Amino acid sequence: MGDPPTDPEPPSQPPSSRRSSQVSQRRGLELSRPQPAFPEEAEQIPLDPSILQSNRGILASQANLQGWSLGASPTQQENLTMFQAEEAQLGGVEYPSPNMGFPSELQPQLYLEEGGIQATQNAGLMLQQLRRGQSNLFQQLESAYLETQPDLLGQFNMYQRDDLQFSQHEPYLRDEPTLQFSPSEPGFTPFTLEVPEREPLELAVQNAKAYLLQTSVSCSLSLYEHLANLLTKILDQRPEDPLSILESLNRTTQREWCHPKLDTLRDDPEMQPTYEMADRQKALFLRSGGGEGQQEMEEEVAETAVPNVMETAFYLEQAGVGLSSDESFRIFLALKQLVEQQPIHTCRFWGKILGLSRSYLVAEVSFREGEEEEGEEEAEEMMEGGEGMDAPDEEEGEEDEEKDTDIIPKPMWKPPPVIPREESRSGTNKYLYFVCTEPGRPWTRLPHVTPVQIVQARKIKKFFTGFLDAPVVSYPPFPGNEANYLRAQIARISAATHISPLGFYQFGEEEGDEEEEGGAGRDSYEENPDFEGIPVLELVDSTANWVHHAQHILPQGRCTWVNPLQKIEEEEELGEEEEKADEGMEGVEQEVGPPLLTPLSEDAEIMHMSPWTTRLSCSLCPQYSVAVVRSNLWPGAYAYASGKIWCEVHTHSTFHLDAMFSSEVLDLGFGFHHIYS
């Protein structure tokens, strides 16, 4: 154990000759790896520069160790080759192995000091290595090289170990720490001076590679290729902390290689709806018809009914409400398309109503004078036809009853008289509403609303599914389908939340109206040409500066009151009904609502809070901000005003806050009949 170190002879000649023979063999194998490529091998990053440094150190110190240094580099390259093939299993061997042999070998002083740390078996090895001319290493006592020098030795160690293991018929070098760190194993026989021949080692490498190149059953990819792909991907993309995402990367690489995405013949079926929608919206962007450019421009520059949606959207964005700008632009184009298709006098974007599977974009329009919609007449005919059908049913019922011996008592209940709906262009039916689900799709007209529908709509709370012909299943039963329910809600919201700054609208100059209409109020207004905007701060301070400009809907469901019993007397029904009418004449009171243009401050409070919230859009720059009014009754109704500009919009899923606020969540549960597909 305490063998004195021999004199540093230059016995490098024999080993160098050996080395050169190896070199000649190995040169074929990727010998000329460029030096900078070394650091790329991740596991050798700490080693390589230091090995190189140590190499150069060796070169510098001993000129006559040329063969040595030559031998060093190819062996290093051999290492690298083996590393490539066997995925650093050998590299792993390199690390710890030198540690044992190092101190005793490089520094004889240290060796002597540390004494019995190292194994006797290693001593022989050290002697041999010393004799091989590593005397130069003695001169390098800097601690910086302590870890690196052993690598060179480690290579030798490894080769030695190769022989050992070969002798044990194990072609692979396993990264077992026990092999390196327990040099005192009895089975650890000393090494021969001769480095074994290359063929067994090469054979081992080739066996390993062949094993890795086996293609797996499920995929035509071998582990070797997969690992190569994985490493290539990591090195290309350089993710941070690759170790923690190794499994995900593995899975991704596997997926990528086994399922190629490109398919030039077939379109991607999943993207089909996107492309369809894009096509449809593209039609919006193109100008309709060929036409001469200039004439069309002139026509368009003239006044159109299409509102300036972008301006509205800008102001609403200041208020923190609204759809994104590109959506607003598409809505603008859709409105333009609507104006071209229908004879429209005025048009306004009312808002958006969210539904379960689709949403509605609502446009409020009024047709030009004289353009009475044909659809309306058809609807009236259908209604009359329906009533005609009812009458024969009743007669048949009566006949049956006469035949029965047991006369079933007739129910005393008569359905309440049907209140006629308001004429178009007046009251709740002042405007027509068109809906579409997305800009680019065709606009559908909503039917007029009847008072019954409004009354029933007040009692139920249902989500919209997005399909206009969906039935509305509820209790109390709603007469109509989703289109009617939507229209009724729109009517209620409009009546409650159409507001404008005080003074913008004024009444026409007709003074005798109040008496004639029995106090029902005026129902028309016109713009005030002398309107000068109210300062924004005043608009925010008090709600008295805002007025309703839509008629309030009476409990009856109409804006102007109609005595239902008078209608019955005019119609000629069965005699019984006349009698009933006389009996039922219970002094129906006229319903009165607040007149038009009443300020907001007179709105009834709900649950101890005012129904409107006013705010400045931006407190940091009050001179340019916009006054925003938000309804607490209909969440989602907003109006803004700034100077002479004002507007309102509604975006909501239509929930009316009423006294049942606390049970709102329960109502949601009740209303869940529409399960979206």
CB 485 within 8 A of CB 478: yes
DSSP letter (8 states) at residue 600: G
For strand 432-436 and strand 444-445, is the pairing parallel, antiparallel, or unpaired?
antiparallel
Near another protein by CB under 8 A, which window of 17-25, 58-66, 195-203, 278-286?
A: 278-286
CB 158 within 8 A of CB 166: no
Q: Is 611 in the site for another protein (CB under 8 A)?
A: no
CB of 648 to another protein, least distance (A): 13
- Buried-state track 583-595, b at ≥16 Cβ within 10 A, e below 16: eeeeeeeeeebeb
CB of 467 to another protein, least distance (A): 13
Q: Which of 276, 299, 377, 602 binds another protein (CB under 8 A)?
A: 276
Q: Is 329 in the site for another protein (CB under 8 A)?
A: yes
One-letter identity of residue 202: E
CB 460 within 8 A of CB 486: no
DSSP letter (8 states) at residue 221: -
Q: Give Dmax over CA atoms of the chain in angstroms.
A: 139
Q: Which of 371, 609, 622, 644 binds another protein (CB under 8 A)?
A: 609
From the CB of residue 472, how many other CB atoms can be counted at a distance below 10 Å? Answer: 23
Residue 55 in 3-state DSSP? helix
Cβ within 8 Å of residue 622, ≥6 positions away: 536, 537, 616
Near another protein by CB under 8 A, which window of 2-10, 85-93, 539-547, 615-623?
A: 615-623
CB of 656 to another protein, least distance (A): 13
Q: Is 286 in the site for another protein (CB under 8 A)?
A: no
Question: For the chain, first and last CA: distance in Å?
Answer: 84
**Total number of residues that touch another protein (CB under 8 A):** 70
Q: Six-digit token pair at 120?
A: 């006797």
Q: CA-to-CA distance for 646 and 631, rounded, in angstroms?
A: 16
Question: Tokens 């353009």, residue?
Answer: 371
Q: Which of 42, 144, 275, 375 binds another protein (CB under 8 A)?
A: 275
Site string for another protein, 354-383 (x = CB under 8 A): xxxxxx------------------------
Q: Is 320 in the site for another protein (CB under 8 A)?
A: yes
CB nearer to another protein: pick between 168 and 677: 677
CB of 261 to another protein, least distance (A): 11
Residues 198-257 that bind another protein (CB under 8 A): 239, 244-245, 247-249, 252
CB of 149 to another protein, least distance (A): 37
From the CB of residue 632, how many other CB atoms can be counted at a distance below 10 Å? Answer: 16
Question: Tokens 């019995």, residue?
Answer: 116
Q: Which of 321, 493, 553, 600 binds another protein (CB under 8 A)?
A: 321
**Bridge partners (DSSP) listed for residue 349:** 363
CB of 221 to another protein, least distance (A): 19
Q: Is 620 in the site for another protein (CB under 8 A)?
A: yes
CB of 245 to another protein, least distance (A): 6
Q: Is 474 in the site for another protein (CB under 8 A)?
A: no
Q: Residue 479 class from Cβ within 10 Å (0-12 exposed, 13-18 middle, 19+ buried)?
A: middle
CB nearer to another protein: pick between 326 and 509: 326
DSSP letter (8 states) at residue 346: E
Site string for another protein, 430-469 (x = CB under 8 A): --------x------------------------x--x---
Q: Six-digit token pair at 593?
A: 């609502």
Binding site for another protein (CB under 8 A): 239, 244-245, 247-249, 252, 270-278, 281-282, 310, 317-327, 329-330, 351-352, 354-359, 438, 463, 466, 607-610, 613, 617-621, 630, 632, 635-636, 651-653, 655, 661-662, 665, 668-669, 672, 674-676
